[in-house]
């Protein structure tokens, strides 16, 4: 729509925003009219119309089998469009058109904003299934007529009331028509059923909807006057009412076809089951986060016990082994701490990497600087946990073996995400400028327990590759290449 309007018309950005607001609302008009809607806007030179949006009804058969968006028609070919645009009024004159042996009634509704007609809505009704209308259909059509007059007058849609049609109630969910005093003139079967779910034992017709809604809603004090006003349809609002029996979502639409409020439409939907499932999901999310929090606490307890045990060790080798275990447990605890703060099982690994680097840097025997470049990005929990351990082992190995007691140097961790559209890979490089690898050293066969852990985790759990080679200038370079899921 943006492209069509900017390419073919002279409408401003504020005019375009008004059209977007209209399109976000016009499913309502289409369903009430049992008709297809096509929005035509005059081109920049005024010689043609371009169709920029289209809507089919959920309540009746379509009169357009093809997509009309992007079509251009010359001015004069459709006289009803010309009349609505030039005269600024709803045009219904003319005989039905025949399209593929289907009679179609065509009407034109001008779209007005601040006194200017921006375009025309062509309302096309399939007459093939026309029958004697019921009370529901008459109410729908009358409400559609009122909305059409409001569009022609520039009073609908309501400014600042952007509606999410996926979440808002629709015509088929339930409809209540009110008079100017808020008294129910008509309630669709679905609308009546929703109020019965709230506890209403009688019919809705003839009742004051605001008063009935306030009586059904649980209240510990006086009747909620705001709820009475909202349910009476005095202002365009969307709200929910929750009772013991259920939850209904309501949307009030004041009707002012001639500038004076003559009543309101209230669309409503029973969302009891939806809200119940949402509460279950919230409870499950909270439970999962609590589990991660407790796992983190337990791991920290284990690390504290290992640390206490290491202080009582007489053997320097045994003390160092326990300290290594403390750091391994600590790297896993960092991941679970991050997961306990998230709503899903995905973590921003850059923060985890920085904390792991800081934790391991504490064992540096000399003045060694550790830094990170690039981004790890968001990773799944099943990738983040082993990767945190791998990063801990590689950094620990570099700090212990690459530098002497009083030596200074640098250890740099870089991360690059890339790959094809079907597979994203994470390339991690840990490079130091220390003494380098011993002659004849084979990281795939030799090495301490830390390198064995790295090989097992990278190749087994992460399905990646692990390499350890001399750095281009000085030192050692560890290269990890692992597949990861794409950022969402």
Segment 266-296, tens digit of pLDDT = 999 999 888 888 888 888 888 888 888 888 8
Cα distances from 444 to residues 109, 447, 453, 454, 456, in angstroms, run 76, 8, 12, 10, 11
Cα dihedral sign for 231, 237, 243, 248? positive
User: Distance between CA 272 and CA 274 in Å, rounded?
Assistant: 5
pLDDT tens digits for 373-414? Answer: 999 988 888 899 899 989 988 888 888 887 766 678 888 999
pLDDT of res. 439? 79
The tokens of 94 are what?
Answer: 């003319």
DSSP annotation of 48: E
What percent of the chain shows pLDDT beyond 70?
A: 94
pLDDT band at residue 422, thresholds of 50, 70 and 90? low
User: Would you say residue 164 has pLDDT above 80?
Assistant: no
Q: How confident is the model at residue 369 (pLDDT cuts 50, 70, 90)?
A: confident
Grouping H, G, I as helix, E, B as strand and the rest as coil, residue 382 is helix
- Give residue 236's pLDDT: 92
Neighbour count for residue 389 (Cβ, 10 Å): 22
What would the mean pLDDT of 5-25 be, rounded to a whole number? 94
Question: In the numeric block, which tokens belong to residue 8?
Answer: 């073919």
Phi, psi of 324 (to 5 degrees): -65, -40
pLDDT digits (tens, 9 = 90+) for 35-93: 999 999 999 999 999 999 999 999 988 888 889 999 999 999 999 999 999 999 999 87
pLDDT tens digits for 171-210? 999 999 999 999 999 999 999 999 998 888 899 999 999 9
| Cut 0.85: pTM above it | no
The pLDDT of residue 148:
96
Q: Which is it for strands 72-74 and 423-432: parallel, antiparallel or unpaired?
A: unpaired
| pLDDT top residue among 125 and 451 | 125
58-to-29, 40, 76, 455 alpha-carbon distances in Å? 11, 21, 31, 58
What the block records as the tokens of 392 is: 């801990």
C-alpha dihedral sign at 358, 364, 367, 371: negative
Which residues have CB under 8 Å from 458's CB, separation 6+?
386, 390, 464, 465, 466, 480, 482
The reported pLDDT for the residue numbered 421 is 59
**Angle CA(170)–CA(175)–CA(180) in degrees, nearest 5?**
125
Residues 146/160, Cβ–Cβ less than 8 Å: no
| HSE-up of residue 259 (Cα within 13 Å, Cβ side) | 1
Determine what percent of the chain is predicted with pLDDT higher than 90.
45
Quote the pLDDT of residue 365: 60
The span from the CA of 117 to the CA of 138, in Å, is: 29
Please state, in angstroms and as integers, the Cα–Cα distance from residue 358 to each residue in 33, 64, 100, 115, 332, following that order.
66, 64, 73, 64, 15
Asked whether residue 110 carries a pLDDT value surpassing 60, the answer given is: yes
Q: Does the structure show a pLDDT above 60 at 221?
A: no
pLDDT higher than 70, residue 116: yes
pLDDT value, residue 436: 84
Read off the pLDDT of residues 320-366 as tens digits, 9 standing for 90 and up.
Answer: 888 888 888 888 888 888 878 876 778 889 988 998 888 888 766 66
Nearest to 146 by CA among 163, 83, 138, 188: 138
Coil vs helix vs strand at 273: helix
Output the average pLDDT for the chain.
88
Q: At a CB cut-off of 8 Å and minimum separation 6, what does 279 contact? A: none
336 CA to centre of own chain: 26
> Which tokens hold the place of 335?
């991941």
DSSP of 151-170, one letter per residue? HHHT--SPTT----TTTS--
Torsion angle in degrees (nearest 10) through CA of 346, 352, 354, 357: -140
- Residue 353 has, within 13 A of its CA and on its CB side, a CA count of 26
Residue 348, CA distances (Å) to 30, 327, 334, 342, 370 in order = 45, 20, 12, 10, 20
pLDDT at 420 over 80: no
């Amino acid at each position: 729509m943006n492209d069509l309007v900017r390419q073919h018309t002279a409408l401003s950005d504020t005019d375009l925003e008004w059209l977007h607001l209209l399109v976000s609302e016009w499913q309502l008009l289409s369903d009430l009219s049992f008709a297809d809607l096509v929005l035509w806007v005059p081109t920049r030179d005024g010689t043609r119309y371009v169709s920029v949006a289209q809507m089919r009804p959920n309540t009746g058969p379509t009169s357009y089998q093809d997509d009309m968006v992007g079509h251009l028609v010359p001015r004069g070919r459709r006289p009803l469009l010309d009349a609505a645009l030039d005269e600024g009024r709803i045009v219904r004159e003319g005989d039905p058109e025949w399209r593929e042996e289907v009679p179609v009634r065509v009407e034109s509704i001008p779209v007005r904003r601040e006194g200017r007609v921006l375009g025309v809505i062509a309302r096309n009704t399939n007459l093939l299934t026309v029958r004697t209308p019921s009370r529901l259909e008459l109410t729908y059509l009358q409400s559609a007529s009122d909305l059409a007059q409001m569009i022609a007058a520039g009073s609908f849609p309501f400014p600042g009331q952007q509606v999410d049609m996926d979440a808002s109630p629709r015509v088929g969910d339930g409809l209540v028509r009110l008079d100017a005093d808020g008294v129910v003139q008509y309630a669709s079967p679905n609308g009546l059923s929703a109020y019965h779910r709230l506890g209403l034992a009688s019919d809705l017709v003839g009742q004051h909807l605001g008063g009935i809604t306030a009586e059904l809603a649980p209240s510990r004090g006086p009747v909620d006057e705001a709820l009475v006003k909202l349910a009476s349809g005095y202002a365009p609002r969307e709200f929910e009412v929750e009772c013991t029996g259920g939850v209904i979502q309501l949307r009030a639409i004041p009707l002012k076809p001639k500038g004076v409020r003559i009543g309101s439409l209230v669309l409503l939907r029973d969302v009891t089951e939806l809200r119940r499932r949402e509460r279950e999901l919230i409870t499950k999310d909270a439970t999962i986060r609590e589990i991660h929090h407790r796992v983190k606490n337990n791991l920290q307890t284990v690390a504290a016990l290992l640390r206490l045990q290491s202080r009582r060790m007489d053997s320097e080798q045994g003390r160092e082994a326990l300290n290594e275990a403390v750091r391994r447990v600590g790297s896993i605890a960092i991941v679970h701490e991050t997961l306990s703060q998230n709503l899903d099982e995905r973590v921003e690994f850059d923060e985890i990497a920085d904390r792991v680097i800081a934790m391991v840097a504490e064992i540096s025997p000399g003045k060694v600087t550790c830094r990170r470049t690039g981004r790890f990005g968001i990773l799944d929990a099943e990738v983040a946990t082993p990767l945190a351990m791998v990063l801990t082992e590689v950094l620990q190995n570099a700090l212990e073996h690459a530098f002497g007691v009083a030596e200074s140097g640098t250890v740099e961790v870089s991360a690059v995400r890339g790959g094809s559209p079907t597979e994203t890979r994470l390339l991690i490089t840990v490079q130091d400028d220390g003494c380098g690898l011993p002659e004849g050293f084979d990281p795939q066969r030799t090495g301490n327990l830390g390198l064995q852990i790295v090989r097992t985790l990278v190749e087994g759990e992460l399905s990646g590759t692990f390499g350890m080679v001399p750095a281009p200038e000085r030192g050692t370079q560890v290269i990890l290449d692992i597949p990861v899921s794409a950022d969402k």
